[in-house]
Chain A
């Protein structure tokens, strides 16, 4: 039986390669199907990884208290009409909340940074000494600023790894002075390298300053958000508690709606899941469509092949092939075309994954490649079934006479 299997395999391979163009054209549907499903998988795996690392930058255990609800369809003027976050909320939340482990006010704006003749535009953050507890990044060298430096409005800054690299290269940046919007700041620390947020912008191009200095120099009345760290396992309780603390601070009556928003990375996750379903759904739709079309194409070419080789079938039967062996031969041929197509599809997907990799790190998931091959196999069996059954049932005498 194994011998026959090997023989059939050889026959089918030689038949596939004898009609290279035909096989390739026939296989196109399957190639596209396999390509789309594996590319989609690669894309999603890359997105997943990028999303995970981005979310860990945001911090899964952080509540972001601000005027604006992420991904909401609130009108801008509605947001603008809400009261601002105030620095004094920090102490109030710390006082009244038992879940809040750290509370950091964060103001943010764009600024131009320069060191000697090097210049760049970036985001600057004004915050308090608690900030480090609300981000997942560590200090790579130097130190973060202290409470006293914040209070006294010291002009010190902690820069991202991207700024360090752009300005200082291999030099030690600690103690050097850089200019932020023409104001001199002393670099006291460097944050660890982070990468890109959702593949969009570099988290490493940032500078963090004490809120005291930030407000004095840049804007007294900017947008502020509060980052509240709560224990990860008490996320929901923390959310409820901080919400009620905020309502209390704002003096809201029970029937009044919140005039603030508390955001979590969950909001991103929801958005992300929607995106993933969209990509996955499209991918699966294209895959199914091209597999059906490809399967029909293969069935068609198998009918042609059976017809063309009617005489061969007759000869094989005359010299001792059973119907089952003939069926096996043609079924194998259909499967061989499909596996051949599957391999080409995966090869292309592998090459494309390098392109995707340029945007966010991703690799072709092995499991998916195997699943895709299995899928090709199944398509081969299904589309080969009827033609090979027809071949098996051919009458040897008629087949031998077939011209």
Chain B
């Protein structure tokens, strides 16, 4: 089933009177339970594409359907709702709230989803357990290692049972051992049926994915299925 469908998506910025085409006619379908890597040099538009797919940004023109719903016509609160329920973000810099415990960090998406405290605690504990951090749930980010922080971030991305997990350079700030652990977790999630989109410029990270898209100057230059699933 097609989860995400992008049809001739353009994102055009006007920088100092000069037109910058961050996305220059992207056509892309992503199916359920795909494991996709988006690659490309910096400035190629991969972050813009990621933001577009993650409903943080809207296209200048084109049609974006998420589970059959037109995203480009949605307002702020509808976009927020999609991000909240359908998409789980994992960032390069983790982006945890520094003053909140791991448990609380994972609970935040549930707060915005208006889920009751008791259920929230239960769901967050389960998510932390699935990334192997049950024993760290009451630690703050600064008491955790980089790998652990990223695992908390993954738990936060998972907690609402989203349709896709968007990971933007998830291992970029980690040593290789922690990076491996994180990739193992993502592989695992994919095994369990999650759809994963990975943005990276490292080939060995992209190797984990089953389909690799290369971007250059806002256009898809290569769309390669590594393994068929």
Interface residues of A (CB under 8 A from B): 1, 3-4, 7, 14, 18, 311-312, 314-325, 396-397, 400
| Residues of chain A contacted by B81 (CB below 8 angstroms) | 320, 322
| Residues of chain A contacted by B77 (CB below 8 angstroms) | 322-324
| Residues of chain A contacted by B85 (CB below 8 angstroms) | 320
Closest 3 CB pairs of A and B: A320-B84, A322-B80, A320-B112
Interface residues of B in 46-72 (CB under 8 A from A): 51, 54, 56-57
Q: Would B89 and A318 count as touching, CB distance under 8 A?
A: yes
Q: Known pairs A4-B112, A321-B80. 16 more at Cβ < 8 A?
A: A1-B114, A3-B114, A3-B116, A4-B111, A7-B111, A314-B95, A316-B112, A318-B54, A319-B109, A320-B80, A320-B112, A320-B160, A322-B112, A324-B77, A325-B80, A400-B91
Chain A residue nearest to B91 (CB atoms) is: A400
Q: How many residues of B contact A (CB 8 A)?
A: 28
* 22 contacting pairs across A/B (C-beta < 8 A): A4-B111, A4-B114, A7-B111, A311-B95, A312-B97, A314-B95, A316-B108, A316-B112, A318-B83, A318-B95, A319-B89, A319-B108, A320-B81, A320-B83, A321-B84, A321-B112, A322-B81, A323-B80, A324-B77, A397-B51, A400-B56, A400-B95
- Pick from A1, A312, A319, A400 the residue with the most CB of B within 10 Å: A319
Q: Would A319 and B83 count as touching, CB distance under 8 A?
A: yes
- Pick from B54, B76, B91, B112 the residue with the most CB of A within 10 Å: B112
Q: Would B56 and A320 count as touching, CB distance under 8 A?
A: no
| Residues of chain A contacted by B160 (CB below 8 angstroms) | 320
| Residues of chain A contacted by B211 (CB below 8 angstroms) | none
| Residues of chain B contacted by A1 (CB below 8 angstroms) | 114
- B171: min CB distance to chain A, Å: 18
Interface residues of B (CB under 8 A from A): 51, 54, 56-57, 76-77, 80-81, 83-85, 89, 91, 95-97, 99, 108-109, 111-117, 156, 160
Chain B residue nearest to A2 (CB atoms) is: B114
Cβ-defined partner of A14 (8 Å) among B76, B99, B116: B99
Q: How far does the alpha carbon of A3 sit from the alpha carbon of B51 in the complex, in Å?
A: 29
Q: Would B80 and A317 count as touching, CB distance under 8 A?
A: yes
| Residues of chain A contacted by B113 (CB below 8 angstroms) | 320
Chain B residue nearest to A324 (CB atoms) is: B77
- A42: min CB distance to chain B, Å: 39
* A323 with B111, Cβ < 8 A, contacts A14-B99, A18-B99, A396-B56 known: no
Q: How far does the alpha carbon of A312 sit from the alpha carbon of B160 in the complex, in Å?
A: 19
Q: Would A325 and B112 count as touching, CB distance under 8 A?
A: yes
Q: Would A319 and B56 count as touching, CB distance under 8 A?
A: no
| Residues of chain B contacted by A397 (CB below 8 angstroms) | 51, 56-57
Chain A residue nearest to B47 (CB atoms) is: A397
- Pick from A18, A311, A322 the residue with the most CB of B within 10 Å: A322
- A9: min CB distance to chain B, Å: 12
* A319 with B76, Cβ < 8 A, contacts A3-B116, A4-B112 known: no
Cβ-defined partner of B84 (8 Å) among A14, A314, A319: A319
Q: How far does the alpha carbon of A214 sit from the alpha carbon of B65 in the complex, in Å?
A: 107
Q: Would B56 and A315 count as touching, CB distance under 8 A?
A: no
| Residues of chain A contacted by B76 (CB below 8 angstroms) | 322-323
Q: How far does the alpha carbon of A282 sit from the alpha carbon of B138 in the complex, in Å?
A: 52
| Residues of chain A contacted by B116 (CB below 8 angstroms) | 3
| Residues of chain B contacted by A18 (CB below 8 angstroms) | 99
Cβ-defined partner of A318 (8 Å) among B56, B96, B111: B56
| Residues of chain A contacted by B108 (CB below 8 angstroms) | 316, 319
Q: How far does the alpha carbon of A325 sit from the alpha carbon of B114 in the complex, in Å?
A: 11
Q: Would B112 and A315 count as touching, CB distance under 8 A?
A: no
- A324: min CB distance to chain B, Å: 7
- Pick from B56, B80, B84, B116 the residue with the most CB of A within 10 Å: B80
| Residues of chain A contacted by B89 (CB below 8 angstroms) | 318-319
Q: How far does the alpha carbon of A38 sit from the alpha carbon of B162 in the complex, in Å?
A: 53
Q: How far does the alpha carbon of A14 sit from the alpha carbon of B83 in the complex, in Å?
A: 26
Q: How far does the alpha carbon of A21 sit from the alpha carbon of B117 in the complex, in Å?
A: 31
Q: How far does the alpha carbon of A318 sit from the alpha carbon of B83 in the complex, in Å?
A: 6
| Residues of chain A contacted by B96 (CB below 8 angstroms) | 315
Q: How far does the alpha carbon of A18 sit from the alpha carbon of B99 in the complex, in Å?
A: 9
Chain B residue nearest to A325 (CB atoms) is: B112
| Residues of chain B contacted by A400 (CB below 8 angstroms) | 56, 91, 95
Q: How far does the alpha carbon of A4 sit from the alpha carbon of B116 in the complex, in Å?
A: 10
Q: How far does the alpha carbon of A3 sit from the alpha carbon of B108 in the complex, in Å?
A: 12
- Pick from A3, A18, A318 the residue with the most CB of B within 10 Å: A318
Cβ-defined partner of B111 (8 Å) among A3, A311, A312: A3
| Residues of chain A contacted by B109 (CB below 8 angstroms) | 319-320
Q: How far does the alpha carbon of A397 sit from the alpha carbon of B95 in the complex, in Å?
A: 13
- B167: min CB distance to chain A, Å: 13
Q: How far does the alpha carbon of A251 sit from the alpha carbon of B18 in the complex, in Å?
A: 104
Q: Would A319 and B114 count as touching, CB distance under 8 A?
A: no
Q: How far does the alpha carbon of A314 sit from the alpha carbon of B54 in the complex, in Å?
A: 13
- B14: min CB distance to chain A, Å: 15
Q: How far does the alpha carbon of A67 sit from the alpha carbon of B113 in the complex, in Å?
A: 82
- A1: min CB distance to chain B, Å: 8
- B37: min CB distance to chain A, Å: 20
Chain A residue nearest to B85 (CB atoms) is: A320
- A216: min CB distance to chain B, Å: 87
| Residues of chain A contacted by B115 (CB below 8 angstroms) | 3
Q: Would B57 and A319 count as touching, CB distance under 8 A?
A: no
- B11: min CB distance to chain A, Å: 11
Q: How far does the alpha carbon of A314 sit from the alpha carbon of B56 in the complex, in Å?
A: 10
| Residues of chain B contacted by A320 (CB below 8 angstroms) | 80-81, 83-85, 109, 112-113, 160
